[in-house]
Amino acid sequence: MSETLTDTPASAPQAARPPKPPGSLGRNLLGWLQAAPLTLVLLAFLVAPIVMIVIVSFWRATEFSIIPDFSFENYEFLFGSQVTWRVFMATFKYALITWAFTLSIGFTVAYFLAFHIRSQTMQIALFLLCTIPFWTSNIIRMISWIPFLGRNGIANQTLQNWGLIDQPLEWLLYSDFSVILAFVHLYTLFMVVPIFNTMMRIDKSLIEAAYDNGASGFQTLLHVIIPLTKPGIMIGTIFVVTLVMGDFITVRFMSGSQKANVGRLISNDIALLQYPSAAATAVVLLCTVLIVIGILLRFVNIRKEL
């Protein structure tokens, strides 16, 4: 009897809080284990390299040696140089102009695909058609512009044959024009895809409702479609801006090494084995791009799209 009496109160509190002790630890552990592989991959391939770059950016270098150190020399040189500011401005200019063109082309294409093509088969077929150029490498696509745009290229010859110009146009190749043309060609699809994706999720009855409420086609575009497509536009913008700001090869090829952007600054430093200087530039570029994306995300909430 006394055994059972003392037993009861001892077992009561245990029964009162059963879900907590052993199960929750097990579940937490399981959760951590499930998150571990991706965490390790990200640590090894994303965080560690960036940390490395940041560390190296504080080292010093001479023409023939690299000295581990903690010095602001690289940054002082970077921010003190007129070249840096000009090159950053050029990079922003490329990003801005490319963004404007890819957005207007991408939005138009996505709008056409999403709202004017009725059958889904046709939508998919046309969408795949857009991706065909992407079956070959970036470099090939860039280089194939050169015979087209060159001094005696197809474009100049055709224009001359038509009598529209007397002299070949010099600015077609190895100019800002050709760089931006290549950027737009390379990256428009990155704008089309997210915008198309968002547009396909717009309930078609909303368009009808706008029409029913007396909105013209343009008013529907302005007051219904564009606001609802903003997240897609933002995702496309992030793609294009980061790609253009990080690019160096397009600028080199299409400008015939006559124009510069930040990517080329870094690539030149690397070619000269000035790794600390390259690392410092890379850190500044990374921060710049992050700030740009941070500003963009203040405007539009893209979480719904992810």
Partner 1 sequence: MRTPNDLELVHLTKRYGDTVAVRDVNHVFTNGSYVCLLGPSGCGKSTTLRMIAGHESVSEGSILLDGTDISRLPPAQRGTAMMFQSYALFPHLSVRDNVAFSLKMKGIDKAARYKSADEMLALVDMGHLAERLPAQLSGGQQQRVALARALVTKPSVLLLDEPLSALDPFLRIRVRGELKRLQRELGISFIHVTHGQDEALALADEVVVMNNAVIEQAGSARDVFGAPRTEFVARFMGGHNVIDLNGGRYALRADDVKLAEGGHAATVSVVEYQGDRVAVTSKLGETEVLALVPEADFYANPKNPGDAVGLAWDEGRLHRLLA
Which spans of this chain sit near partner 1 (rule: CB under 8 A)? 203, 205-206, 208-216, 219, 223-224, 227-228
Q: How far is the CB of 299 from partner 1 (least distance, A)?
A: 13
Beta-carbon contacts of residue 297 (< 8 Å; ≥ 6 apart)? 234
Q: How far is the CB of 295 from partner 1 (least distance, A)?
A: 21
Between the CA atoms of 284, 285, 288 and 294, what dihedral angle is there, to the nearest 10 degrees?
-120
Backbone φ/ψ region at 273: left (φ over 0), alpha (ψ -120 to 50), beta: left
Pick the closer one to partner 1 by CB: 63 or 203: 203
Contact assessment for residue 259 and residue 179, using Cβ atoms and an 8 Å cutoff: yes
Helix 275-299 vs helix 48-56: crossing angle, to nearest 10: 120
Pick the closer one to partner 1 by CB: 224 or 278: 224
Pick the closer one to partner 1 by CB: 141 or 230: 230
Pick the closer one to partner 1 by CB: 57 or 229: 229
143 half-sphere exposure, CB direction, 13 A CA radius: 5
Pick the closer one to partner 1 by CB: 69 or 208: 208
Pick the closer one to partner 1 by CB: 20 or 303: 303
Q: How far is the CB of 221 from partner 1 (least distance, A)?
A: 12
Q: How far is the CB of 271 from partner 1 (least distance, A)?
A: 49
Q: How far is the CB of 223 from partner 1 (least distance, A)?
A: 7
Q: How does 103-130 read in b/e, with b if 16+ C-beta sit within 10 Å?
A: bebbbebbbebbbeeeeeeebeeebeeb
Q: How far is the CB of 102 from partner 1 (least distance, A)?
A: 24
> Which has the closest alpha carbon to 211: 202, 224, 196?
224
